[in-house]
Amino acid sequence: MPPFNLAEHAHRRFNPLTREWVLVSPHRTDRPWQGQVERAAVEKTVTYDPKCYMCPGNTRASGAKNPNYKDCLVFENDFPAVRPETPGAGMDDGLLVARSESGVCRVVCSSPRHDLTLSQMETHAIRGIVDVWAQQSAELGAMANIKHVQIFENRGAMMGCSNPHPHCQIWATSSVPNEPAKEQEGFLAHQRVESRCLLCEYLSQEEKAGVRIVCRNEHFVALVPFWAVWPFETLVIARRHAGSLTDLFGEERDGLADVLKQLTVRYDSLFHVPFPYSMGFHQSPTDKAPHPEWHLHAHYYPPLLRSATVRKFMVGFELLGSPQRDLTPEQAAERLRAVSGE
């Protein structure tokens, strides 16, 4: 029997952040694709759309009129998932348990131009967005009932993005959502055993190995995590042990803007389209308690599998058993490194 090889043999990889496993089946990469093939999305390229509710000077669904902004615009979501005035209540009837959830939902328009993506913006403009994220994190996190601030962006129609205007969302909630709550347990479990930060230690290992790193600078590293589920999933990690965006110094914010630019350009270059993804930052809870175990990072979850027209869904074993991937994280990182980040 040949010796075990990560690049050839089926195996499971452990995610220490969520304490979950992913099945990797590298021997399946050669199977022919006879499934559904999507049309590559063709998105609007106009710099201003009079029907867009995010463009400068236009009226939104709420009746509010956008100012003629020049950089970023932040406004309360006209259709929020949670509201600040929700009464504190719930029900507990054996296995039937519910709890009220309050919070604030905001939209951040990244540019007044309707046709831009993050990859097409200048790095200094992305730095301005980073500053807005940090400012909003501080403002919302300081609210008495807010325990978590989630910044996220859905890019592309296939990711359910309802408007191509460059924007992201911020949902600040009165409880910590499932995914960051899992990571909270992962951070604490590692700290109890090793007395060290999980991501500090993990990043050190990845930098020594080098095979899964996509791009980096003095302050941030973008890599395909060893336990990645999605074919071209990446993790953006702060080099310094900082818990949130508000903890970043000026040069670190520059570094984050630079890595986000490099990474999104590589995504577009590899697939020759404005690359669809869901991206989000995970940062320390805002429950007014210290969280020295937390380490700032961002997740990119792109659905594309082999090309701009073949995407990945969670079906079958992935829905009923555990996540599974064919392309190894090492292969994905190699392909992303091979294209330009400029």
Strands 20-24 and 324-325: parallel
Q: Which helix (H) or strand (E) holds 130?
A: helix 123-141
Query: If we measure between CA atoms, which residue out of 243, 199, 241 comes closest to residue 219?
Result: 241
Query: If we measure between CA atoms, which residue out of 335, 277, 241, 298 comes closest to residue 157?
Result: 277
Catalytic residue numbers?
167
Measure the CA–CA gap between 26 and 5, rounded to whole angstroms.
10
The total number of residues shown for the chain amounts to 342
96 SS3 class: strand
Measure the CA–CA gap between 245 and 274, rounded to whole angstroms.
26
Q: Which two tokens stand for residue 325?
A: 């991937």
Between helix 329-337 and helix 250-271 the angle, nearest 10°, is 100
